[in-house]
Amino acid sequence: MSTNRFYYDVIVAGFGGQGVMVIGNLLAYAAMMEGKYVTYLPVYGVEMRGGTANCTVVISSHPIGSPVVGKPQAAIVMNLPSLLKYEPLVRTKGLLFLNSSLIDRKEASRQDIEIFPIPVNEIAINNGNPKLANMVALGAFNQKTNLVQMGSLLESLGKVLDERYHHLIPSNIKAIEAGAKYVQSL
């Protein structure tokens, strides 16, 4: 561990089935691979698919007191209900990544945070797999925050994804890179 102390927390939210938990899992696993302290707290709505889902990830250079986050430094929101719930909670000068494929940028009203509308569904479709919108969002978020090294993130795919999905790792990598590239172009 370096002597530089850091602490970063993010909430990822959307409908069940949008891959919200996978985003959180990958961030947490990549951070663990880098020797950082991590908490990952998933929360599911009543239904698994179509219901609300969110997770909180805390990454730190020192032990973490609680996985519960009231005012996150960042939020990744994949649908309008998640924007309405989590935009007000983001800390002043924080980051809000919104899925502009499903959320009109005008729906985000805060002036004291940095807002990144990312058309993750369109980017995923253009990269050959509409189901990888979550990977596009993850790539965009990590490119902006540099929370974990891209190599750690890509390596964590093999650890987090069930073995039956390992044949999809190359397309997941492509989607993560597409999200990162989109943010670089802003």
The answer to the question of residue 27 being in a domain is: yes
The answer to the question of residue 2 being in a domain is: no
CA trace torsion 135, 181, 101, 172 (10° rounding):
-20
Report pTM: 0.94
The answer to the question of residue 77 being in a domain is: yes
Tokens found for residue 138: 């993850």
CATH code: domain of residue 60: 3.40.920.10
How many separate domains does the chain show? 1
* pLDDT reported for residue 1: 43
Angle at 50 between CA 47 and CA 54, to 5 degrees: 80
Instruction: For residue 38, give the DSSP letter.
Output: E
Q: Which of 134, 150, 121, 148 is nearest to 57 (CA)?
A: 148
Q: 41: exposed, middle or buried (C-beta count within 10 Å: 0-12, 13-18, 19+)?
A: middle
Rounded distance between C-alpha atoms, residue 176 and residue 162, angstroms: 18
**Which residue range(s) make up the domain with 93?**
7-184
The answer to the question of residue 1 being in a domain is: no
9-35 pLDDT per residue, tens = 999 999 988 999 999 999 999 999 999
* pLDDT reported for residue 4: 80
Q: Which of 94, 100, 87, 84 is nearest to 133 (CA)?
A: 100
The answer to the question of residue 176 being in a domain is: yes
For CA atoms 117, 168, 17, 163, give the dihedral sign.
Answer: negative
* Spans in the chain with pLDDT lower than 70: 1-3, 46-50
CA distances from 79 to 18, 99, 156, 179 (A): 9, 7, 25, 17
